[in-house]
Chain A
Amino acid sequence: MATHGNLASVKIFKFNPAIDKKPRYETFNVPYEGRTVLNVLETVYRDLDPELAFRYGCEGKHDSRCGVCAMIVNGLPALACRRISEKEMVIEPHPKFEILRDLVVDFNKIRKVIPKMASSIKITIDPERCVKCADCVSICPVGVYEAKKGEIKPSGVEFCCGDTCRQCVTYCQTNAIIVEFL
């Protein structure tokens, strides 16, 4: 691994619920320029900390996003495979789901206590265009959307991985969804 060139300072959340009383953060210095957060995590795992646990899948190639690498980067949810790295980063597990270990969560279990998140995203569903097919409900990897009494609502906007994902926008057949950054 190159040790010359600019290195990022990456603080990563570490927690093994089976043996740790509480979580801790470990800092690593790795090359980051022009790389995604997933690239950076892979370097940490490969060269510095083989115990690090994180999920990877489709790697965000092409238009689709499987969503398994959803996590928090510098306070906001993002898909690690599409999030560009910064010089200072804090990486934590996605706030909605139960932590299995380190950055790995169980997408089938919602946390009993969800940390308060500042949201930087505004989602608008155009009522003239929405045909209530609920595709967005099915396709969102972190369950931002909810179908309630025939209406679709982005009730979990604070979990939205924003620009790194945009599956709802990409696949809405009537272009009814607008995702804006505040």
Chain B
Amino acid sequence: MEREVREADVLIIGGGIAGIRAAIEAHDNGAHVILANKGPFGRDGAAVWMAGTGFQAALYPPDSIEQHVEDTIKGGKFLNNQTLVKTFLSLAPQVFNELSKWGMRFAKDGEKFMRFPLPGQTYPRNPNFVRVGYMLGTEYRKTLPRQVRKREKIDVREDLFVFDLLKNGDEIVGAIGLDLITGAPVVINAKATILATGGFMACYSFTTASPTITGDGHGAAYRAGAKMTGMEFIQFMPTTTIWPEIVRGDMFPYQLLNSLYPFFYNRLGERFMEKYYPVEKDWATREAAARAIAKEVREGRGSPHGGAYLSMRHLPQNLLNEFLERNRDSEFIKSLRKINFDIREEALEVGPAVHYVQGGCWIDERCRTNLGRLYAIGEVGSGGKDGADRLAGNSFPFCMAMGYVAGKDAAENVKSSEMPKLDAMKVDRLIKKLQSPLEKKEGVRPQEIKTKVRETLQRSALFQRNAGDLKEGIKVIEDMKENMLPKLYIRAKTKTFNLEWMEALEAENMVNVAEMVLRSALMREESRGLHEREDFPKTDQKWLKHIIIKKVDNEMSFSTEPVTFPYVQPK
């Protein structure tokens, strides 16, 4: 297959919130931009729907940027990279006003935007969509792609799976992808590359995210020698629906628990919440419920699909009927009705689903990684900005601010820059890697690798982590690296739109991600925020440091970097 070769001033990998904002800024500062998307532009990734009900911005006194920064650092259990928090959240009001100017409609109370409270905020700080309570994702999908399309010079590439970065010396000189439509390799030579590939939630078995979010940027960055950090902090959505199948991954129970008091049961019919929370019982916080459910599953008392039963059977019929009538138009309730599932009689199965990740590339306040000409923004641009736990509603201001900062910086820097040369041998080697699973006649299919990664992380790297499980998990990953990845083979041989070929590329990234998560979790011997160690249950001051991962001589090597406190002192 003939390879396609393109050039750009700025290559942006990933067209989510951060990538779009970067494309707009780079273009408006005179750069020729190629914006590469794994799927259809403006529809794929997480931004479509996960942009929930929050966008934090300190718009009016008595709230302030300083307060927003302090809340974020406290929420992050003082592990945040404070310089990044300050730099990016200072831009939150500015980027919020841009969204408003571009057509996103936020609820107003007279002249001022209404603000709603979310956990961890000193003052209510979340402007909300005009139809309060509805997901903001659609507003992003409506507004941001339009800003890109208006700028006709931005070259939007869809169905282009970028699978590796191109390196020459210590610099990133572009990237290589698979054009999913034609089956041809696409080589893009760029003066600057911005990684905006999102998270890696689909590396776990159970997630609220799309199955396409497999940490492709994390894998590519790691393999290219980028420093990575924060990989041990994985955020979950507490009581997500596991079963019935047609509503699997749906967050509805999160809202349901605001309206009704259910009972949780394990496989034995025990109301197990009483064991862990003798006072609050079934009505402890959702996060607490998530941990209790995880424990029951680990100890063999989980429901058939790996969670806990959520039952409303104890409530009187008229109360339940009133609830169902009120929620008649909810997509969730309608789906259940379509399969004749009676929520008054039968229990849902629910459990914690992976929702967001705090780990990614190590970056400075200009979003630059340790590799020349490479930026990382949004979820993959970690730098430790979220610390040990992200506040709800912080992802969007981060994505927008980082997109703005990186887009501007990249465009300014390429003005005086020559196009860096490609390393032709490396390109050829990567094309061989791309073709290999297609050309093999037998071997290990990607689905086997993906499933194994998901099961390993789900079992060992969520709650109640311990050295034993983590080491077991690492052994599984080592075995996969040695015995499965090299034999990667796909049965589907059609070149155009080959789903299995896409999965083969995802498989390697998922193995890289899993190794980073497991090893980081093993190294951090304390419990802090989202990282919970059964064998080290206390928060330890001496662990106020970032774990840094780097590929050295083809091995995953680790170091630490102390957290500094220029703005907020730890308690």
List residues of chain A with CB under 8 Å of any chain B CB: 16, 18, 34-36, 39, 45-46, 50-68, 82, 84, 100-102, 104, 106-108, 135, 138-139, 141, 163, 166-167, 170-171, 173
Q: Out of A53, A62, A67, A84, which one reaches B43, CB within 8 Å?
A: A67
Instruction: Give 1 or 0 for each of B45-64: 1 = CB within 8 Å of chain A CB.
Output: 00011000000000000000
Q: Roughly how many angstroms separate A49 CA and B447 CA in the complex, as a whole number?
A: 14
Q: Which residues of A contact B105 (CB under 8 A)?
A: 173
- Say how far B86's CB is from chain A's closest CB, in angstroms: 32
Q: Roughly how many angstroms separate A170 CA and B60 CA in the complex, as a whole number?
A: 30
The reply to whether A84 and B246 form a contact with Cβ atoms under 8 Å apart is yes
The reply to whether A45 and B499 form a contact with Cβ atoms under 8 Å apart is yes
The reply to whether A61 and B246 form a contact with Cβ atoms under 8 Å apart is no
The yes or no answer to B568 lying at the interface (CB within 8 A) is no
The reply to whether B39 and A68 form a contact with Cβ atoms under 8 Å apart is yes
Whether A171 contacts B249 in the complex (CB less than 8 A), given A53-B494, A66-B44, A101-B496, comes out as no
User: B136: nearest residue on chain A (CB-CB)?
Assistant: A64
For the complex, count residues of B whose C-beta is within 8 A of A: 47
- Say how far B355's CB is from chain A's closest CB, in angstroms: 11
The yes or no answer to B137 lying at the interface (CB within 8 A) is yes
Instruction: Specify which of B40, B48, B131, B334 lies most central, judged by the most chain A CB atoms within 10 Å of its CB.
Output: B40
The reply to whether B211 and A51 form a contact with Cβ atoms under 8 Å apart is no
The reply to whether B40 and A34 form a contact with Cβ atoms under 8 Å apart is no
Q: Which residues of B contact A101 (CB under 8 A)?
A: 494, 496-497
Q: Which residues of A contact B339 (CB under 8 A)?
A: 34, 84
The yes or no answer to B564 lying at the interface (CB within 8 A) is no
The 9 A-B pairs at the shortest CB distance, nearest first, are namely A64-B49, A50-B492, A66-B43, A53-B497, A138-B142, A61-B249, A50-B491, A66-B48, A34-B339
Please name 23 pairs of A and B residues whose Cβ atoms are closer than 8 Å in the assembled complex, sorted by A: A16-B496, A18-B496, A35-B245, A36-B246, A39-B245, A51-B492, A53-B496, A57-B44, A59-B210, A60-B331, A61-B249, A62-B208, A62-B252, A63-B135, A64-B135, A66-B48, A66-B49, A84-B246, A100-B496, A102-B497, A104-B497, A135-B142, A170-B134
List residues of chain B with CB under 8 Å of any chain A CB: 39-40, 43-44, 48-49, 105, 130-131, 134-135, 137-138, 141-142, 146, 158, 181, 208, 210-212, 244-252, 331, 334-335, 338-339, 447, 490-494, 496-500
Q: Which residues of B contact A57 (CB under 8 A)?
A: 39-40, 43-44, 48, 210, 212
Q: Roughly how many angstroms separate A50 CA and B301 CA in the complex, as a whole number?
A: 36
Not counting A61-B251, A82-B331, a sample of 8 additional A-B residue pairs whose C-beta atoms are within 8 angstroms of each other reads A39-B245, A57-B44, A60-B331, A61-B208, A61-B250, A65-B49, A100-B496, A138-B146
Whether A59 contacts B335 in the complex (CB less than 8 A), given A34-B244, A171-B134, comes out as no
Q: Roughly how many angstroms separate A100 CA and B335 CA in the complex, as a whole number?
A: 31
Instruction: Specify which of A16, A51, A52 lies most central, judged by the most chain B CB atoms within 10 Å of its CB.
Output: A51
User: B240: nearest residue on chain A (CB-CB)?
Assistant: A61
Q: Which residues of B contact A18 (CB under 8 A)?
A: 496
User: B142: nearest residue on chain A (CB-CB)?
Assistant: A138
Q: Out of B130, B137, B146, B248, which one reaches A64, CB within 8 Å?
A: B137
Q: Roughly how many angstroms separate A101 CA and B496 CA in the complex, as a whole number?
A: 7
- Say how far A40's CB is from chain B's closest CB, in angstroms: 11
Main secondary structure of the interface of B (DSSP, over half): loop
Q: Which residues of B contact A53 (CB under 8 A)?
A: 494, 496-499
Q: Out of A35, A46, A56, which one reaches B447, CB within 8 Å?
A: A46
Q: Which residues of A contact B335 (CB under 8 A)?
A: 82
- Say how far B480's CB is from chain A's closest CB, in angstroms: 20
The reply to whether A141 and B43 form a contact with Cβ atoms under 8 Å apart is yes
The reply to whether A35 and B246 form a contact with Cβ atoms under 8 Å apart is yes
The reply to whether A62 and B246 form a contact with Cβ atoms under 8 Å apart is no
- Say how far B50's CB is from chain A's closest CB, in angstroms: 8
User: A50: nearest residue on chain B (CB-CB)?
Assistant: B492
Q: Out of A16, A45, A56, which one reaches B211, CB within 8 Å?
A: A56
Q: Roughly how many angstroms separate A58 CA and B131 CA in the complex, as a whole number?
A: 22
Whether A16 contacts B39 in the complex (CB less than 8 A), given A39-B245, A46-B447, A171-B134, comes out as no
User: A175: nearest residue on chain B (CB-CB)?
Assistant: B131
Q: Which residues of A contact B338 (CB under 8 A)?
A: 84
Whether A68 contacts B142 in the complex (CB less than 8 A), given A57-B48, A58-B48, comes out as no
The reply to whether B497 and A100 form a contact with Cβ atoms under 8 Å apart is yes
Q: Out of A36, A50, A55, A64, which one reaches B500, CB within 8 Å?
A: A50
Whether A62 contacts B251 in the complex (CB less than 8 A), given A100-B496, A171-B131, comes out as yes
Q: Which residues of A contact B212 (CB under 8 A)?
A: 56-57
- Say how far B248's CB is from chain A's closest CB, in angstroms: 8
The reply to whether A58 and B497 form a contact with Cβ atoms under 8 Å apart is no
Whether A58 contacts B246 in the complex (CB less than 8 A), given A53-B499, A66-B44, A138-B146, comes out as no
- Say how far A133's CB is from chain B's closest CB, in angstroms: 8
User: A107: nearest residue on chain B (CB-CB)?
Assistant: B40
- Say how far A82's CB is from chain B's closest CB, in angstroms: 7
Whether A64 contacts B493 in the complex (CB less than 8 A), given A46-B447, A59-B249, comes out as no
Q: Out of B44, B208, B499, which one reaches A68, CB within 8 Å?
A: B44
- Say how far A111's CB is from chain B's closest CB, in angstroms: 16
- Say how far A122's CB is from chain B's closest CB, in angstroms: 18
Q: Roughly how many angstroms separate A63 CA and B44 CA in the complex, as a whole number?
A: 15
Q: Roughly how many angstroms separate A28 CA and B138 CA in the complex, as a whole number?
A: 36
